[in-house]
Amino acid sequence: AQSVTQLGSHVSVSEGALVLLRCNYSSSVPPYLFWYVQYPNQGLQLLLKYTTGATLVKGINGFEAEFKKSETSFHLTKPSAHMSDAAEYFCAVLHYNTGNQFYFGTGTSLTVIP
């Protein structure tokens, strides 16, 4: 079975500080990688994705993530946190050879302190 690990179920940062949310996956074949965000009382929406090509991908709201095959990681970063970034963040992988199923991490709740 595929596995996605998000280190830290809760992360707190000060407004204006760097945001770093960690994600590691277990797979012998590089998967497609995603970050989704869930704002309170809403469903999930896509933040960014990596499929092929450039390993540094940029998403909405100033977020970016870098695929590092040697570390099997896909950490999410944002240089300067904003109050509106407070949300739940989910890392996910997609393997076409396992039936087009997405596998999600357990989520990281981001709190931004004013």
CB-nearer residue toward another protein: 17 or 94:
94
Task: State the number of binding residues for another protein (CB under 8 A).
Answer: 22
DSSP state of 66: E
- Among residues 14, 26, 51, 111, the one that binds another protein under rule CB under 8 A: 51
Q: Does residue 35 belong to the site contacting another protein (CB under 8 A)?
A: no
- Among residues 12, 14, 55, 101, the one that binds another protein under rule CB under 8 A: 101
Question: Closest Cα to residue 67, out of 88, 45, 93, 46?
Answer: 93
Question: Closest Cα to residue 79, out of 62, 94, 66?
Answer: 62
* 98 half-sphere exposure, CB direction, 13 A CA radius: 15
**CB of 5 closer than 8 Å to CB of 33:** no
Q: Does residue 95 belong to the site contacting another protein (CB under 8 A)?
A: no
**Residue numbers at the binding site for another protein (CB under 8 A):** 6, 9, 32, 36, 41-46, 49, 51, 90, 94, 99-102, 104-107
